[in-house]
Structure 1
Amino acid sequence: MPADRKPRASVWSRPRPRQREHLTREQIVAAAIELLDAEGIEALSMRKLGTRLDAAATSLYRHVANKDELIELVVDDVYGEVQIPAAADRTEWRAAVTHIATDLRTMTLRHPWIAPELGQVGLVHIGPNAMRMAAGLLAQFEAAGFPPDEKDRAAGTLTAYVVGIATSEAAYLSLIARSGRTEQEWVAGLRPAFDEASQQHPRLREGSSARQDVHPQQIRDGDFAYGLERVLDGLTARLGA
């Protein structure tokens, strides 16, 4: 990091300001999530959010110092949607981890604007909900029998798979949403061009034709589940190593 640049402070690293007005941090976060879900992260600004809350932007700055802090808050609030089951045992850990992974993907697709925030290398989320999820995931791998020097890596491997595939899905679904078409309409519209382009590639045609009549969401769900099972197969093999 250049000498003239200081690390960006986190909203979680300073005391919460004393409540001095009717507007609360929770109201700000809820309105920001509504705006992000409706218009995407590019549309988020303190001024626009203030208009949505019928409040001056200066009122918002009493709760958050800048847009970066606001994003920290909304990201952590959305993390709270991921359900963390109680730590399982050596026979049930895969089911518990699958539940967490599936919830994390579902959350990302419900709020596609969050995908780039989750995918930023080196960005550590230290809000209470993010920490709860991370700790809960570690507890599952610990219960499975992973040694201390491997449970962090196992959790990181799983999270990288889920965030990676969910980020790609979120970008794909956002593109379709901007087109004004459904996913089925989008895929059907691409079919003629794909069929023509794959004339000389029978392997591609064979795989595509086999799933031609399956709903695209069902294909995505199946592909995610297949990849998740293979990741867990590899991690399970480590327990017997």
Structure 2
Amino acid sequence: MPRDTLTREQIVRTAVELLDAEGLEGLNMRALGQRLGSAATAVYWHVQNKDNLVLLATDHVWGELALPDLEAVGWRTAATAMATDLYAMFIRHPWLVQALAAHVLYGEGKARHDDHSFAVYEAAGFTGARADQAAAAVFTYVLGNAAGAAATASLTRRLTRDGAIAEEHFQAAMAEAQQIAMGYPHLRARLETPAATEYTAAADKAFEFGLHALLDGLEQQIAA
């Protein structure tokens, strides 16, 4: 695709697709140019460098988030919806968790989300720095839960890329980890019990459980 037919929007959308498929480590101008059917040099006419591209891609996906109407729902309903939506976005785009650790991220999409988040906790009754702390506590909780999914996505790419040798190392590591876990009673119980699937199901509900517990705590602080 010649540079005069490329648009920044096309480049950013394709960059998001590449990031979703290959992660942050797989993003480079040559790979992006191949997906666009264009020379890597043509991309530079629209974006400054890789860091600028990550910034644009991040702001693009941040725009996917819905903002609940605080005149239509209560603060806790809004907070739950925003946290759940944010978590789902991190799961769809696990590279974003990597980007938050490696880049200074900003833009209209993120500012729009952060501003509304502060409004939610101010509507709850928090003021000043307390509203900021409440918003940060929930955001950090969501990000921490999404980190596991991001790590799994990165490992899956590595196993797929490196083939049988990487798979062999992974299985050996899992066997060693299980052997170590058997020396600890609570971990052993989860490995030995016939109802081990119940623990897996409980883990799947961990995000929802923790979010409600966190919001319960914030609600108690407001009441106090």
TM-score, with structure 1 as normaliser: 0.76
Report if the CA contact (8 A) 1:141-1:155 is conserved. Answer: yes
2:85 counterpart residue number: 103
2:31 counterpart residue number: 48
Q: Distance in 2 between matches of 1:106 and 1:173?
A: 14
Q: Distance in 2 between matches of 1:83 and 1:189?
A: 43
Is 1:117 the counterpart of 2:99 in the alignment? yes
Deviation at 1:64, TM superposition (A): 0.9
Structure 1 residues 102, 210: CA separation in 2 closer, same or farther (over 3 Å shift)?
farther
Report if the CA contact (8 A) 2:86-2:142 is conserved. Answer: yes
Q: Distance in 2 between matches of 1:69 and 1:35?
A: 15
1:146 counterpart residue number: 126
Is 1:237 the counterpart of 2:220 in the alignment? yes
1:132 counterpart residue number: 112
Deviation at 1:235, TM superposition (A): 1.4
Deviations 1:109-133 (A, max 9, x none): 1111111112458x3x331111111
Q: Distance in 1 between matches of 2:128 and 2:138?
A: 16
1:201 partner letter: Y
Report if the CA contact (8 A) 1:138-1:155 is conserved. Answer: yes
Q: Distance in 1 between matches of 2:23 and 2:111?
A: 25
Deviation at 1:190, TM superposition (A): 8.7
Q: Distance in 2 between matches of 1:94 and 1:213?
A: 32
Alignment RMSD = 2.9
1:144-223 to structure 2, matched below 5 A, reads 144-176=124-156, 178-179=158-159, 196-208=179-191, 209=193, 212-214=196-198, 216=200, 218-223=201-206
Q: Distance in 2 between matches of 1:190 and 1:49?
A: 34
Report if the CA contact (8 A) 2:24-2:98 is conserved. Answer: no
Q: Give the unaligned 5+ runs of structure 2.
A: 161-170
TM-score, with structure 2 as normaliser: 0.81
Deviations 1:158-217 (A, max 9, x none): 11111122123310343245446xxxxxxx99987666444443222334537612484x
Deviation at 1:92, TM superposition (A): 2.4
1:35 partner letter: L
Deviation at 1:30, TM superposition (A): 0.8
Deviation at 1:237, TM superposition (A): 1.9
Deviations 1:122-167 (A, max 9, x none): x3x3311111111111111111111123111111111111112212
1:103 partner letter: D
Structure 1 residues 36, 192: CA separation in 2 closer, same or farther (over 3 Å shift)?
closer
Structure 1 stretch displaced more, 63-72 or 94-103: 94-103
Deviations 1:86-106 (A, max 9, x none): 1258x8222211111111111
